[in-house]
Amino acid sequence: MLLPGLQVSAETLTEGLYEYSAEDGKATIVKYTAVSESVKPVTGVTICIPEQLGGYPVVSIGQWAFTQDNIECIIIPDSVVSIQRAAFDECWILSNYCDTGRCGEN
């Protein structure tokens, strides 16, 4: 089910902490916006990629989507079938990921 008011185009949309594009009924995360550049946490955080954004299944993580974020652990849902080059570029403390199941079930 698509949320009212969302457009079916490749323009950038925002939901929660994510900027994403939606095209052909599928979402690609293009930017994680949780923490501004000036106040990034010193310690690592765990990120749980949502299965859907705006009612679209998240199928891809775009190039540089999480660049320089202090991510230590990331949980990737089964819906993601593509992670583009440099999606986690300069995430120096990223050491764990889980690519199965749903957030809260691991």
* CATH code of 69's domain: 3.80.10.10
Give me the chain's average pLDDT, please. Answer: 81
- Burial zone of 79 (CB within 10 Å; 0-12 exposed, 13-18 middle, 19+ buried): middle
In a domain? residue 22: yes
Instruction: Summarize pLDDT for 35-66 with one digit per residue, the tens.
Output: 555 555 556 788 889 999 999 999 999 999 98
Question: Could you tell me which of 21, 28, 90, 87 has the C-alpha nearest to residue 59?
Answer: 28
In a domain? residue 106: no
In a domain? residue 43: yes
Give me the mean pLDDT over the 68-79 stretch. Answer: 85
In a domain? residue 105: no
Domain extent at residue 35: 12-98
In a domain? residue 65: yes
Q: Please state the domain count of the chain.
A: 1
In a domain? residue 76: yes
Collect all residues with Cβ–Cβ distance below 8 Å to 42 and sequence separation of at least 6. Answer: 70
